[in-house]
């Protein structure tokens, strides 16, 4: 087992938990602003990770992937948080607001990437070495990976909610598809093509954002 990869994986695991908290908070915050008080009543409008943790999807599965990555030499972390419950009947503009709520989580992941790179830029200008380590780049690519991952049009991911509203899919049809969501999800994540696509997109996005901050990343 590669101890270096294990240490990097554990750092990313802690970052992943924080990213999940911000992601689910964004869903909850936008839902409340769109007229549904359900997330607030359930205590989801908070950055406390405990409120958003799914013990399997946020803790156990990512930890398993960390140790598998340390053993194989290839690290990849993914998972999910506890879904924010939204009563669509309370929304002021149901289709539009459902799109906004669904998109809020991935958008938060993208904003976190910008904030991390901003912290690295400040670190490079002020000499704070913590903010110039490769760990920050790895965390930035992880939150970008989660951005693209959550946009996949596969229930129950956010991309599927956005797509269903864009094409006008009925609740009944979406519920029927969602009955097989776990099976579809597993098939997608076992696909090397999907994993490579997500890694490629997140790497390209990282390179693009880094250039905006004045860096040209060297392939690692």
Active site residues: 24
C-alpha 116, offset from chain centre: 15
H/E stretch holding 21:
helix 3-33
Residue keyed to tokens 């950055």? 47
Q: Computed from CA positions of residues 24, 26, 31, 32, in that sequence, does the dihedral angle turn out positive or negative?
A: positive
What letter would DSSP give residue 45? Answer: S
217: nearest Cα among 204, 114, 73: 204
How many other CB atoms are there within 10 angstroms of residue 139's CB atom? 24
Q: What is the DSSP string of 111-130?
A: HHHHHHHHHHHHHHHHT-GG
Residue keyed to tokens 């101890």? 3
210: nearest Cα among 142, 143, 145, 137: 137
Spatial neighbors of 22 by CB under 8 A, at least 6 apart, are 47, 108, 109, 112
């Amino acid at each position: 087992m590669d101890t270096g990869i294990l240490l990097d994986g554990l750092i990313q695991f802690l970052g992943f938990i924080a990213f999940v908290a911000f992601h689910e908070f964004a869903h909850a915050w936008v839902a409340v602003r769109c007229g549904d008080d359900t997330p607030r009543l359930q205590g989801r409008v908070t950055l406390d990770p405990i409120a958003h943790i799914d013990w399997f999807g946020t803790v156990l599965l990512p930890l398993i992937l960390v140790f598998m990555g340390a053993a194989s030499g290839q690290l990849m972390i993914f998972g999910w948080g506890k879904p924010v419950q939204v009563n669509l009947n309370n929304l002021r503009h149901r289709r539009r607001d459902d799109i906004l709520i669904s998109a809020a989580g991935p958008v938060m992941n993208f904003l976190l990437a910008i904030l991390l790179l901003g912290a690295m830029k400040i670190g490079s200008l002020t000499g704070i070495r913590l903010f110039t380590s490769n760990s920050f780049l790895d965390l930035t690519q992880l939150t970008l990976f989660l951005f693209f991952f959550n946009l996949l049009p596969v229930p129950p991911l956010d991309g599927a909610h956005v797509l269903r509203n864009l094409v006008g899919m009925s609740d009944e049809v979406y519920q029927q598809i969602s009955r097989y969501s776990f099976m579809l999800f597993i098939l997608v994540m076992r696909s090397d093509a999907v994993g490579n696509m997500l890694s490629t997109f997140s790497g390209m996005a990282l390179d693009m954002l880094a250039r905006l901050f004045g860096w040209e990343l060297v392939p690692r």
